[in-house]
């Protein structure tokens, strides 16, 4: 049985005090939930990771990074490395988010390196893929997503690929309030699973969790998660309010 996952990507939001308040509220609400068979992850700004890890001790909550460097250590000002995340006991890290691709020029070759170093350090990549609006309008979305997966992930051995979580995030849906329809999400997720099946076989493909991301919220989560190939969500804006995030977790 593949894992059902809800991951919150806080992006560059919250002051220290606000982050403390949100964590406090979240832990309080998670305490009352039955989380068996579900994995809840939050990816706060790196400055607040230690605080998040402390809070996460109290409930079944995992903490992840939002990005990591392609290098191990050294003169890379501002960067955070996989061994650093590992030393904080983190299990997950988002890699290849469309905002990193767009604003930081991250390409498939760099992302392949980031995936390798994460896996070397025992961190499970939450690897983001997804097309921009023009690509969907030109009906190139399947082709684009397939090549993102092939170029950054298909050098991996099967046992390595087994540690990847995929997140399909159509870029036109991120932070825009325009969610993919449940049909669009299921269609793409089934396609992604087929791409993985063709490379690694059905057994492994059936074990890979594929999350949906892009304006997923407390209202639309359950109809998105009801689809066979949608194994949870990567949540941006709606992860910044404890009540909304918890409602999304309940929808899983």
The reply to whether 67 sits near ligand PGA by the rule CB under 6 A is no
50, 97, 160, 187: which is the annotated catalytic residue? Answer: 97
**Angstrom distances, CA of residue 4 to CA of 81, 127, 161, 211, 252:** 27, 15, 17, 9, 7
Could you say which of 214, 249, 251, 252 contacts ligand PGA (CB under 6 A)?
A: 214
Q: Which of 147, 151, 154 is nearest to 199 (CA)?
A: 154
* Tokens representing residue 79 in the block: 């960067």
Q: Which of 165, 183, 160, 185 is nearest to 173 (CA)?
A: 185
- Which region, judged by CB under 6 A, interacts with ligand PGA, from 80-88, 148-156, 197-205, 233-241? 233-241
The reply to whether 236 sits near ligand PGA by the rule CB under 6 A is yes
Could you say which of 44, 96, 232, 237 contacts ligand PGA (CB under 6 A)?
A: 237
Q: Which of 117, 115, 122, 180 is nearest to 148 (CA)?
A: 115
Q: Which residue's entry shows tokens 């299990």?
A: 91
The reply to whether 125 sits near ligand PGA by the rule CB under 6 A is no
Site string for ligand PGA, 184-213 (x = CB under 6 A): -----------------------------x
- For residue 241, the SS3 value is coil
Least Å distance between CB 102 and ligand PGA?
11
The reply to whether 215 sits near ligand PGA by the rule CB under 6 A is yes
Catalytic site residue 169?
yes
Q: What are phi and psi of 125, to 5 degrees?
A: -70, 135
The reply to whether 232 sits near ligand PGA by the rule CB under 6 A is no
Question: Which secondary structure element, helix H or strand E, spans residue 92, and what is its range?
Answer: strand 92-95
- Which region, judged by CB under 6 A, interacts with ligand PGA, from 104-112, 181-189, 195-203, 236-244? 236-244
The reply to whether 235 sits near ligand PGA by the rule CB under 6 A is yes
Cite the active site residues. 97, 169
């Amino acid at each position: 049985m593949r894992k059902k996952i809800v991951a919150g990507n806080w992006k560059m939001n919250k002051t220290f005090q606000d982050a403390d308040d949100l964590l406090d509220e979240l832990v309080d609400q998670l305490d009352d939930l039955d989380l068996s068979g579900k994995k809840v992850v939050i990816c706060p700004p790196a400055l607040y990771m230690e605080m998040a890890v402390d809070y996460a001790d109290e409930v079944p909550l995992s903490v992840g990074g939002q990005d990591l460097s392609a290098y191990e250590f050294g003169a890379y000002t501002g960067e955070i490395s996989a061994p650093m995340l590992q030393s904080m006991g983190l299990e997950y890290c988002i890699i290849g988010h469309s905002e990193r691709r767009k604003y930081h020029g991250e390409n498939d070759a760099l992302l392949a390196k980031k995936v390798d170093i994460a896996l070397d350090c025992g961190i499970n990549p939450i690897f983001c893929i997804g097309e921009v609006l023009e690509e969907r309008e030109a009906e190139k979305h399947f082709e684009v997503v397939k090549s993102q997966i092939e170029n950054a992930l298909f050098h991996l051995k099967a046992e390595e690929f087994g540690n990847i979580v995929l997140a399909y995030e159509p870029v036109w849906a991120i932070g825009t309030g325009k969610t993919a329809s449940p049909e669009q999400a299921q269609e793409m997720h089934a396609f992604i699973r087929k791409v993985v099946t063709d490379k690694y076989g059905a057994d492994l493909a059936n074990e890979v969790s594929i999350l949906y991301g892009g304006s997923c919220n407390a209202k639309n989560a359950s109809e998105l998660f009801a689809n066979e190939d949608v194994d949870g969500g990567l949540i941006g804006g709606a992860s910044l309010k404890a009540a909304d995030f918890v409602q999304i977790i309940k929808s899983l």
